[in-house]
């Protein structure tokens, strides 16, 4: 029985009352508790039942004929087994203080008056029944504790015996450990050797980094040298009109484009290695991408008098890709094939259709690769030829960038060669998209914008040279342009100039371009507020979002080409005309 009570079994509750109606009311009130209710109608029956059954609580009527509640409670509590059994007296008449005191002395725990308030009686019985279960649980735990103590004594003895055996085993284990230690020393030597090999690879990586930095300095100086020489021509006062002026202009344009290309490659590699480069996927045609890549490489192919052979499937192949990035990949591979092949060599572009994919091979008849070079050719900063006499230029990041871009498209880029002097093959494998069965007709191009008038444009940049050159370009284009070098001077400059377009640098001291844009938006303008355009070296997606949130209508990345500046001016003119 103790185990049953300990595990939440219903407790016995004795209901004693000579009035059947009240017994029924007790049962009605207490049945929701789920306890085991036992009813008797006299004190004599209650005494006889208590001798056989243990009760958690007794609900006892005070005023009963024959043996009243007080006498019944006294006889129950005289028995040692039941002296702690809680009794709740029920009385239909007011109980005097003396009677209440008498009841408490007889072991009553509480009084309930008639008419009974169900919630009160139910809560009192529920508490006493739960206390009864807790007491039985405590008794059970005490018994278990005694058993546990006995078992603990036996365990201590067993532990002493076991400890003696363990000491013997320990001595034996110590002998075995000495043997294992010798084996561990051998393994440690192998680990040291492996660590030495890792350190060697790290030193090799560091050496490549140093070579890359030296190459970067060399490659940057290559376009800077003709730019500096062209500036020297201006500085010496040479007449640069006519053909000479055109030649100098082409030098500036060509070498600046080369610098921008190198910086873009470095930024792309940085974004990819940090997982921050985002593709702009769209349904496109492989043929269009290859045509654009061949167009970029064609001048170099013609300059080196090389022959380009194409072996492409006649059916159109659809890709879900970023056409700009894949054009960049194939253009880089074609340019590499040109640079590493002798003049008059042959470059072959072949596409092989597989199961849900297409493999594009770009094969050349150039210097080829050793097995070791094939292994590291896609490593960052790796170059197949690092000699001073190499006939080609580059930072050694183009292949790394190309491989990462292909992998972002779910494809692979692999290199193969039969050795030095045998040429190389670079294979790009890409998943093919399901052909679009809808209409392939393209939208008609939009009509050319109307002629553009003169705009008032303010250029805000703490780099004076950058601000002055952009302002001068805008003036040559026919606009009124003013350069402001401090963001703190902008509001005063706007008072008399009233710009229609403001081209603002973001990373400025004293006040950055984002904060300046917020001030400009909050300013009370006399007329239409100027259109704000960001021009900055920060060009990641997060940077564009921040500038848009600050109120910039457009976000340009330095250096912005002339076509982009003209497009911004046209957009501003169109916005002014619309209002």
Domain spans of the chain, in order of start: 2-131, 239-273, 282-431, 456-578
Neighbours of 313 (CB within 10 A): 13
Cis bond leading into 17, ω under 30°? no
C-alpha–C-alpha distance, residues 72 and 44, integer Å:
8
Q: Report DSSP state, residue 385.
A: -
pLDDT at position 446, please? Answer: 37
Q: What angle do CA 399, 308, 262 make, to 5 degrees?
A: 30
Whether the CB-CB separation of 345 and 364 falls below 8 Å is answered with yes
Instruction: Round to whole Å and give the CA distance between 489 and 531.
Output: 18
So what's the pLDDT on residue 9?
Answer: 84
> Number of H helices and number of E strands within the chain?
16, 17
CB 409 within 8 A of CB 322: yes
- Assign 435 to helix, strand or coil: coil
Conformational region of residue 217, where left means phi above 0, alpha means psi within -120 to 50, and beta covers everything else: alpha
pLDDT computed for residue 3 by the predictor: 43
Domain 2-131: state its class: alpha beta
Residue 308 confidence (pLDDT): 92
**Structure tokens belonging to residue 303:** 């300059």
CATH of 282-431, one of 3.30.565.10, 3.40.50.9100, 3.20.20.80, 3.10.20.30: 3.30.565.10
- For residue 517, the number of C-alpha atoms closer than 13 Å in the C-beta half-sphere is 26
For 432, phi and psi rounded to 5 degrees? -95, 135
Decide the pairing of beta strands 282-285 and 318-321. Answer: antiparallel
The CATH number assigned to the domain with range 456-578 reads 3.40.50.2300
Same fold, 2-131 and 456-578: yes
Interatomic CA distance for residues 530 and 492, integer angstroms: 15
Q: How far apart are CA 362 and CA 364, in angstroms?
A: 7
pLDDT in single tens digits along all 579 residues of the chain: 444 444 468 999 999 999 999 899 999 999 999 999 999 999 889 888 988 888 989 998 888 888 888 888 888 888 777 777 888 888 876 666 666 666 666 656 677 888 888 998 898 899 888 888 888 888 888 888 888 888 888 888 888 888 888 888 888 888 888 888 888 888 888 888 889 888 887 887 777 666 666 666 656 666 776 677 777 766 766 566 666 667 777 777 767 776 776 777 777 667 666 666 778 888 999 999 998 889 888 888 988 999 999 998 888 899 999 888 898 899 889 988 998 898 999 999 999 998 889 999 999 999 999 888 888 888 766 655 544 334 444 556 788 888 989 998 999 999 999 989 899 999 999 999 875 544 433 333 333 434 678 999 999 999 888 888 889 889 988 999 999 999 999 999 999 899 999 999 998 988 999 999 999 999 989 888 999 999 988 877 788 889 999 999 999 888 887 888 999 999 999 888 776
Dihedral sign computed on CA atoms, order 398, 401, 405, 410: positive
> Are the C-beta atoms of residues 431 and 408 closer than 8 Å to each other?
no
CA distance 341 to 368: 9
């Amino acid at each position: 029985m103790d185990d049953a009570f300990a595990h939440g079994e219903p407790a016995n509750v004795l209901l004693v009352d000579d009035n059947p109606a009240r017994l029924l009311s007790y049962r009605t009130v207490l049945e929701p508790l789920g306890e085991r209710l036992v009813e008797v109608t006299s004190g004599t029956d209650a005494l006889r039942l208590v001798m056989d059954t243990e009760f958690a609580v007794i609900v006892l009527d005070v005023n009963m004929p024959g043996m009243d509640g007080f006498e019944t409670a006294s006889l129950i509590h005289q028995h040692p087994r039941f002296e702690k059994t809680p009794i709740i007296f029920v009385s239909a008449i007011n109980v005097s203080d003396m009677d209440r005191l008498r009841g408490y002395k007889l072991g009553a725990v509480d009084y309930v008056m008639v008419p009974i308030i169900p919630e009160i009686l139910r809560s009192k019985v529920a508490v006493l029944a739960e206390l009864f279960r807790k007491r039985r649980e405590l008794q059970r735990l005490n018994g278990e504790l005694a058993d546990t103590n006995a078992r603990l004594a036996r365990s201590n003895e067993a532990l002493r015996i076991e400890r003696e055996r363990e000491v013997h085993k320990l001595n034996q284990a110590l002998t075995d450990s000495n043997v294992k230690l010798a084996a561990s020393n051998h393994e440690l030597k192998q680990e040291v050797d492996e660590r030495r090999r890792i350190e060697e690879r790290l030193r090799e990586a560091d050496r490549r980094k140093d070579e890359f930095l030296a190459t970067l300095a060399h490659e940057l100086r290559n376009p800077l040298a003709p730019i500096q020489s062209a500036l020297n021509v201006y500085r010496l006062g040479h007449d640069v009109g006519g053909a000479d002026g055109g030649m100098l202009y082409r030098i500036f344009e060509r070498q600046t484009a080369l610098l921008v290309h190198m910086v873009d490659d470095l930024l792309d590699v940085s974004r990819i290695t940090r997982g921050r480069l985002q593709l702009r996927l769209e349904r496109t045609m492989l043929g269009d991408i290859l045509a654009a890549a061949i167009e970029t490489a064609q001048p170099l192919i013609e300059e080196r008098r090389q022959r380009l052979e194409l072996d492409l499937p006649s059916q159109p192949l659809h890709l879900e890709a970023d056409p700009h990035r894949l054009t960049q990949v194939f253009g880089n591979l074609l340019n590499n094939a040109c640079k590493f092949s002798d003049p008059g060599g042959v470059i072959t572009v072949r596409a092989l259709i597989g199961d849900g994919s297409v493999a594009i091979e770009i094969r050349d008849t150039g210097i080829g690769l050793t097995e070791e070079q094939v292994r590291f050719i896609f490593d960052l900063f790796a170059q197949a030829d690092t000699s001073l006499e190499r006939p080609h230029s580059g930072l050694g990041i183009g292949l790394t960038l190309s491989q990462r871009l292909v992998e972002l498209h779910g494809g692979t880029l692999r290199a193969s060669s039969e050795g030095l002097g045998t040429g190389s093959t670079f294979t790009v494998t890409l998943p093919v998209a399901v052909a679009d069965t809808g209409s392939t007709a393209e939208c008609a191009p939009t009509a050319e914008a109307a002629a553009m008038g003169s705009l008032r444009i303010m250029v805000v940049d703490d780099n004076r040279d950058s601000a002055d050159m952009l302002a001068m370009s805008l003036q040559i284009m026919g606009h009124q342009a003013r350069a402001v070098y401090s963001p703190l001077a902008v509001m005063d400059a706007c008072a008399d100039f009233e710009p229609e377009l403001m081209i603002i640098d973001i990373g400025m001291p004293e006040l950055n371009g984002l904060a300046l844009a917020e001030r400009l938006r909050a300013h009370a303008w006399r007329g239409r507020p100027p259109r704000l355009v960001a021009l900055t070296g920060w060009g990641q997606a997060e940077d564009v979002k921040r500038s848009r949130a600050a109120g910039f209508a457009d976000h340009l990345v330095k250096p912005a080409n002339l076509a982009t500046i003209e497009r911004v001016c046209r957009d501003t003119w169109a916005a002014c005309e619309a209002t």
